Amino acid sequence: MKVAIPQDSLARALGIVSRAVPSRSPLPVVSNVLLTTDDHRLKLVATNLEIALTVWIGAQVSEEGTITVPARLFSEFVSQLKGDQPVQITLPPRSRQLNVHCGRDEANIGGMPADDFPVVPEVTDGQRLVLPARGLRRAIEEVVFAAARDDSRPVLTGVHVQVADGVAELAGADGFRLAVHRLRLPAPSAEGSPEPFSVNIPWSTLDHLGRLLSESGDVQMAVNGERTRALFRLDDIELVTQLIPGTFPNYQQLIPTTYATRARVSVEEFLHETKIAAIFARDGSGIVRLHVTPGEGGGPGSLQVSARADEVGDNRGEIDAAVDGEPSKIAFNSRYLIDVLSVLEPGELALETSGPSNPGVLRPLGHDDYVHVVMPMFVQW
């Protein structure tokens, strides 16, 4: 193998695939990155066996070849090389030592045969669809944080993606909150709109994918016929992931359709006051108390955000709120509020509540594509 590649594109590609490399693995070859010449390109592959990332970069290929080398070592070395020089990669025939040469720097890296590297499965025989990159990125950001991190209910560690009627609905939920984003799909092509389907994608896969998505362009998604794997294809990147088996619970029934109190507030102000209250809530099970008070005589109402911890202290902060309905109080875990408020776009949101023991609902105003449901904490007021 003999290849020359611009340093910056090699460093970028290694940066991308390295995210799939597990920090520890029972299978040593998995901590390596697979390098393969592919026509006029170099293909880089890394996998943690749950997801596999593949990146192609343009290269000057003088001799075909393939090898795996330790991902971390190779990536760190390449990232330190000078950007104005091409990186020469040479693997002599029947050798396992990869020679890397750039300007006046040179290294020999011991590798393992490409045959030992896990085969990235094909995803061919199922559904296909096209997703807008920017919209998908936002949907992932607004949903992934709500998926369960512990696997006591394995299906909840996935984000449920349901495709039907020109919409991909993404839903993430743990035991205490639910985030649902409806992503409108581009107008169907000549082939017609995709068949409805639903899958559970590991939250970590979507987290990886979200970081790869740009502000424009499309993402192609494919699911195999058995619904065990999915593929995402960006320009020169492919991500293949295992899917989580099982039926995602029916979450529609968790979304309240009525409310007793609705308060319209600024997302930024609400987040700011919640962060302040969280400082005091730290010693008191993370409880943040909200009091919504309707305005009197045409004046604005208010949302008071407070916290207290025995023997530590307490705080109160207040922001304007346009209130519809009766005065209300409700308590939330500060982390759950901060999680959702941090991912909403600047603007206004509506907080809808139906008493201190029923789920609260947050809806950004101006987008009917997102809803967040969070279970309040039971506290003694």
Partner 1 sequence: MPQTILHADLDAFFASVEQLDRPELRGKPVVVGGPPERRGVVAAASYEARRFGVRSAMPMARALRLCPEALRVPPRFDRYAELSHRVMAIFRSITPLVEPLSLDEAYLGVTAEVEAHGGPERLARSLKERVQRETGLVVSVGVGANKSVAKIASDRGKPDGLVVVPAGKEAEFLHDLPVRDLWGIGPRSEELLHRAGVETIGDLARLPAEAATRLLGSRGAELRDMANGVDPRPVVTSRERKSVGAETTFPRDLPDGPELRAELRQLAEEVATRLRHEGKLGYTVTLKLRYHDFRTVTRQQTLARPVDAGDEVERVAAALLDGLGTAGARFRLVGVTCSRLVERGAWQPDLWGAVADPFADGPGRTAPAQAAEGQRPQD
- CB of 173: closest distance to partner 1 in angstroms? 7
Check binding of 258 to partner 1 (CB under 8 A). Answer: no
Rounded CA separation 32/47 (Å): 9
Minimum distance, C-beta of residue 98 to partner 1, in the bound complex (Å): 44
Q: In what order do the strands lie in the sheet with 105-110?
A: 60-63, 2-6, 86-90, 97-102, 105-110
Q: Does 219 bind partner 1 (CB under 8 A)?
A: no
178 forms part of the interface with partner 1 (CB under 8 A):
yes
What are the distances in angstroms from CA 130 to CA 71, 123, 136, 264? 31, 15, 10, 35
Q: How far is the CB of 179 from partner 1 (least distance, A)?
A: 11
CB of 109 to partner 1, least distance (A): 43
Which residues, in sequence order, are CB contacts of 330 under 8 Å at separation 6+?
Answer: 289, 290, 353, 355, 356, 360, 376
Which of 168, 173, 213, 240 is in the footprint of partner 1 by CB under 8 A?
173
Sign of CA dihedral 208, 212, 217, 218: negative
Stretch that binds partner 1, among 120-128, 147-155, 269-277, 295-303 (CB under 8 A): 147-155
Cα angle: 274, vertex 277, 282; to 5 degrees:
115
One of 109, 112, 114, 155 touching partner 1 (CB under 8 A):
155
Is residue 290 close enough to count as binding partner 1 by CB under 8 A? no
Chosen residue from 77, 117, 203, 248 binding partner 1 by CB under 8 A: 248
The residues in 340-369 that bind partner 1, with binding defined as CB under 8 A, are: 357, 359
- DSSP β-bridge partners for residue 88: 4, 101
Q: How many residues does the chain have?
A: 381
Q: How many residues bind partner 1 (CB under 8 A)?
A: 31
What residues line the site for partner 1 (CB under 8 A)? 152-155, 173, 175-178, 246-250, 253-254, 284-285, 287, 331, 333, 357, 359, 373-380
